[in-house]
Amino acid sequence: MKIKEGFVLRRVLDEAIVIASGEASKNFHGMIKLNDSAADIWTWISEGLDESEIAKKLSEKYELSEEKAKEDTESMIKQMSDAGFFEI
């Protein structure tokens, strides 16, 4: 799983925003606001972590049960995938 080239996470004040740049901006016109945990998931995907590693980090950082962290990770990754942010 890899984020498509051209989609970037930027912090504006206290907000985490995903925007498209370059070629990606030809098809994606807007921005997505992420909460803190979603921004962490985005960052960890960018670092090359797999889904189980992300769920573990999410569980540790936000003091979630492993099951809840796994559910949240799967849900966020599905939303990102459905939005077209990943290369296969």
- pLDDT digits 0-9 by tens, 70-79: 999 999 999 9
Residue found under tokens 């740049």: 21
Please give the Cα distance from 69 to 23 (Å, whole number).
Answer: 33
Please give the Cα distance from 25 to 58 (Å, whole number).
Answer: 30
* Domains detected in the chain: 2-87 (1.10.10)
Q: What tokens does 14 get?
A: 């206290």
pLDDT at 26: 83
What is the Cα Rg of the chain in Å? Answer: 13
The answer to whether 39 and 60 are in contact (CB under 8 A) is: no
- pLDDT digits 0-9 by tens, 13-69: 999 999 988 888 888 878 899 999 999 999 999 999 999 999 999 999 999 999 999
User: Which residues fall within 8 angstroms of residue 21, CB to CB, at 6 or more apart?
Assistant: 6, 7, 8
